[in-house]
């Protein structure tokens, strides 16, 4: 019994030391996931993207929900984020097909985008490497999450509202937040929208 | 991952976790019932006291130690865990040292923040998990016999304290914090990789949990020493190790609230920075709170080992400790002094020449109890007719020597003018590595070697491997700390992943020492593996636990 315990102990010590070292070596070593724009980037053009921030999903009441954005490389993109409900939102991006809070860059913070429906916040950013990015809201990562595709060629120069894009999971089949968590806020939001229409 | 996938994964993981918990509980119940029945038959009302009196099985390393709540099992838990963390943090230390081979970062080029993480994890895990853990483990393991406990109560609390402490350590490891071990606020509040690390808040929770765990243990142990001590042992005859544990834990209970309060305030500052970085406050306030705890902790890390030296020495010299009374007084004097000298860590912070002089003078007074202790050791060896040189004795002699060097380098750096030169340099690193490698590491291993037959169920350690372990640890730590001390005196700054090229010789010497220490610890593992694979050779008693008999006996050394 004790003999086995000794072997187990030694193997545990060696394994744990190795794994701990590997774990530390995999620590994030860049702020904002290395996404901050370096200076002196080449600029090939500009483009504008307007997007509505709603806890049900990006562009929840404006066309396709959580659209995939196609952005050419080295274009200065101006993101115009419009508050739709009265909840805090951020526009946060990171490299990769999934949201990753450890290596993310927040373009629009909840302080810049106030919780007043209709408020507009703008941020510019230039994607300097190609690949798949994720843009999401740190407050609603389950619903407000979609991809950005950065391509080297600016052939089609598409915009955010292209109807060819959609996320893989149909949104309306599963709505955890709007169905269970935030019915009250949705109700308030709808009331305020109605009120806004009536004022106009 | 979609929400559905997340839910499914979480439920599967939770199910396995609950199955594991159920198995653990089943094992606990079956073992506990068995021992309870046996204890009842022998007219013991709690199984812990029965195990300590009658059974030797609970004193060996096994998985049962993790589910039984008697003092010995809890001691073994703390010991095993602290050894595991010693090797984890030691690996960090060696890799960190190797990365400093060239003046410019090469191993961590472009990601120097890894060096900061390794430094921080090495420091925090070594102090809170290894130094405190091994001291608590040895205290739990040895005190029942030393004090001839009347009954071994509150095992549940000790068990809780162990798990909280362990979880705290795991949190600190998982947080990959790079805030240095003192958590100074403007840096500690920046949750970025180049700040304190993205998950530094987890490290703050981890420290808080470690402190809560050790506080529970401290209260249980102090209660054991004061109330559960056998009536045949008056305070004036209590073994010196019990005295040192008592003083250490009182020191802990008196100074830990400062850190716990500071950490709660720091955690609040993550959300709403008012306490340390607000307009009406100062980061220096945190530094003062921290060092009010931070100085006593370095005494907490060596005081139990001072007591252990008093217990180990007479076994190999064959006589009594030279002066019992002065030993107790010296250990006790460190108690008030430890709370009065914390300012010498902040001498360059600009809190005024008066305070500087006060803390400088107070630091000088620490020499008195330390010197009494060292001369007590020397007197014990001096008056011996014959000294048996064994592996634990070698560790003890090396520890005393290292402590003298480390103590002197420490005291002269507390002198106000010299502090201008040595503050924030490798001199300080050299100073406390002399003390910690000699006393904390050395004496803990000396005790483990003395307890070897009991811990391993009657095995004998391989003396050749143990000798190599001792030699490499002693020589390596001497080379490493000496390289730092000399380089630090010339102004080599610590805590940085690169350095000026003119310091390369001192860094490289320290690297050689560090690698030698690392190789030395592998001999300990090999020893553990070899001796435990062999069949039991002796009885499971050991000399160290027999506190009231001086001469060495069979079993152990």
Q: Is the pLDDT of residue A167 over 70?
A: no
Alpha-carbon distance of B500 to B482, in angstroms, equals 19
Per-residue pLDDT, B2: 61
**Cα dist from B414 to A76, B309, B421, whole Å:** 57, 26, 11
Which ranges of chain B have pLDDT less than 50? 552-556
Residue pairs between chains A and B whose CB atoms are closer than 8 Å: 94
Q: Is the pLDDT of residue A168 over 50?
A: no
**Residue B542 DSSP one-character state:** -
A197 pLDDT band (50/70/90 cuts)? low
Percentages (nearest 5) of helix, strand, coil residues in chain A: 30, 25, 45
Mutate to test the interface with B, among A17, A97, A141 (most CBs of B within 10 A): A17
List chain A domain ranges: 32-158
Per-residue pLDDT, A138: 87
A180 pLDDT band (50/70/90 cuts)? very low
Higher pLDDT, B83 or A156: B83
Per-residue pLDDT, B435: 95
Cβ–Cβ < 8 Å for A80, A122: yes
- Residue whose C-alpha is closest to residue B247's, from B309, B303, B312: B303
Residues near B370 by beta carbon (within 8 Å), at least 6 away in sequence = B330, B334, B403, B407
Residues near A193 by beta carbon (within 8 Å), at least 6 away in sequence = A117
Going along chain B from its start, the domains and CATH numbers come out as: 72-95+113-301 (1.20.210.10)
**In the CATH hierarchy, which top-level class contains the domain A32-158?**
mainly beta
The beta-carbon neighbor of B62 closest among A5, A12, A28 is: A5
Q: Do B176 and A174 touch (CB under 8 A)?
A: no
Q: Are strands A145-151 and A69-72 parallel, antiparallel or unpaired?
A: parallel
Per-residue pLDDT, A170: 41
- Residue B117, chain A, CB below 8 Å: the answer is yes
- Residue B261, chain A, CB below 8 Å: the answer is no
Per-residue pLDDT, B148: 86
Per-residue pLDDT tens over the stretch B205-215: 999 999 999 99
Predicted-complex ipTM score: 0.86
Q: Is the pLDDT of residue A178 over 80?
A: no
The dihedral sign for the CA sequence B289, B290, B294, B297: positive
Per-residue pLDDT, B170: 95
Q: Is the pLDDT of residue A174 over 50?
A: no
Q: Do B111 and A176 touch (CB under 8 A)?
A: no
**Cα dist from B33 to A30, A142, B39, B479, whole Å:** 54, 48, 10, 53
**Residue in chain A nearest B120 by alpha carbon:** A24
Q: Do A21 and B92 touch (CB under 8 A)?
A: yes
B-chain residues near A13 (CB < 8 A): 83-84, 87, 525
């Amino acid at each position: 019994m004790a003999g086995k315990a000794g072997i187990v102990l030694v193997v545990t010590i060696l394994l744990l030391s190795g794994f701990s070292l590997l774990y530390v070596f995999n620590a994030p070593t860049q702020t904002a996931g290395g996404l901050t724009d370096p200076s002196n980037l080449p600029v090939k053009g500009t483009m504008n993207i307007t997007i509505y921030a709603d806890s049900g999903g990006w562009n929840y009441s404006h066309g396709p929900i959580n659209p995939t954005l196609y952005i050419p490389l080295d274009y200065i993109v101006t993101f115009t984020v419009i508050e739709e409900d009265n909840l805090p939102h951020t526009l946060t991006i990171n490299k990769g097909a999934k949201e990753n809070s450890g290596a993310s860059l927040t373009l629009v913070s909840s302080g810049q985008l106030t919780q007043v429906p209709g408020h507009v916040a703008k941020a510019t950013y230039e994607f300097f490497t190609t690949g798949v990015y994720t843009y999401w809201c740190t407050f609603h990562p389950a619903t407000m999450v979609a991809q950005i595709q950065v391509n080297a060629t600016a052939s089609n120069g598409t915009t955010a509202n292209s109807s060819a894009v959609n996320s893989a999971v149909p949104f309306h089949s599963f709505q955890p937040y709007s169905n269970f968590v935030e019915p009250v806020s949705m109700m308030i939001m709808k009331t305020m929208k109605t009120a806004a229409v009536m004022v106009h | 991952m979609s929400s559905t996938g997340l839910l499914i994964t979480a439920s599967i993981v939770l199910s396995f976790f609950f199955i594991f918990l159920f198995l653990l509980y089943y094992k606990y119940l079956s073992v506990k019932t068995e021992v309870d029945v046996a204890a009842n038959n022998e007219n013991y009302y709690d199984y812990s006291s029965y195990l300590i009196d009658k059974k030797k099985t609970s004193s060996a390393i096994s998985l049962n130690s993790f589910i039984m709540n008697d003092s010995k099992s809890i001691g073994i838990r703390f010991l095993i865990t602290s050894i595991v963390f010693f090797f984890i943090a030691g690996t960090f230390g060696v890799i960190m040292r190797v990365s400093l081979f060239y003046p410019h970062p090469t191993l961590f080029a472009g990601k120097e923040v890894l060096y900061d993480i390794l430094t921080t994890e090495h420091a925090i895990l070594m102090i809170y998990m290894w130094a405190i853990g091994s001291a608590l483990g040895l205290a739990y393991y040895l005190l029942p016999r030393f004090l001839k406990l009347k009954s071994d109560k509150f095992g549940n609390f000790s068990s809780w304290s162990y798990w909280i402490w362990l979880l705290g350590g795991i949190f600190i490891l998982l947080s990959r914090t790079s805030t240095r071990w003192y958590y100074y606020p403007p840096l500690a509040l920046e949750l970025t990789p180049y700040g304190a690390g993205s998950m530094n808040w987890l490290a703050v929770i981890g420290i808080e949990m470690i402190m809560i765990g050790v506080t529970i243990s401290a209260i249980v142990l102090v209660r054991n020493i004061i109330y559960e001590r056998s009536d045949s042992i008056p305070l004036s005859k209590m073994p010196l190790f019990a005295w040192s544990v008592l003083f250490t834990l009182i020191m802990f209970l008196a100074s830990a609230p400062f850190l716990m309060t500071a950490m709660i305030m720091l955690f609040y500052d993550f959300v709403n920075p008012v306490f340390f970085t607000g307009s009406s406050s100062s980061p220096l306030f945190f530094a003062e709170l921290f060092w009010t705890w931070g100085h006593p902790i370095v005494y907490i890390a060596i005081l139990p080992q001072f007591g252990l030296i008093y217990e180990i020495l007479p076994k190999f010299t064959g006589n009594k400790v030279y002066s019992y009374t002065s030993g107790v007084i010296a250990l006790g004097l460190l108690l008030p002094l430890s709370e009065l000298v914390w300012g010498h860590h902040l001498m360059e912070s600009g809190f005024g020449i008066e305070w500087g002089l006060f803390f400088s003078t107070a630091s000088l007074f620490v020499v008195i109890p330390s010197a009494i202790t060292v001369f007590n050791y020397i007197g014990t060896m001096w008056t011996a007719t014959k000294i048996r040189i064994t592996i634990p004795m070698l560790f003890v002699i090396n520890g005393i020597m290292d402590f003298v060097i480390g103590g002197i380098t420490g005291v002269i750096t507390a002198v106000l003018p010299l502090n201008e030169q040595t503050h924030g340099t490798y001199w300080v690193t050299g100073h406390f590595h002399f003390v910690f490698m000699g006393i904390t590491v050395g004496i803990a291993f000396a005790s483990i070697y003395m307890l070897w037959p009991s811990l391993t169920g009657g095995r004998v350690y391989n003396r050749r491997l143990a000798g190599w372990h001792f030699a490499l640890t002693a020589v390596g730590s001497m080379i490493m700390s000496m390289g730092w001390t000399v380089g630090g005196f010339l102004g080599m700054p610590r805590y940085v992943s690169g350095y000026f090229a003119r310091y390369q010789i001192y860094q490289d010497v320290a690297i050689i020492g560090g690698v030698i220490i690392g190789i030395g610890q592998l001999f300990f593992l090999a020893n553990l593996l070899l001796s435990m694979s062999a069949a039991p050779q002796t009885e499971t008693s050991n000399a160290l636990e027999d506190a009231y008999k001086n001469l060495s006996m069979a079993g152990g050394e």
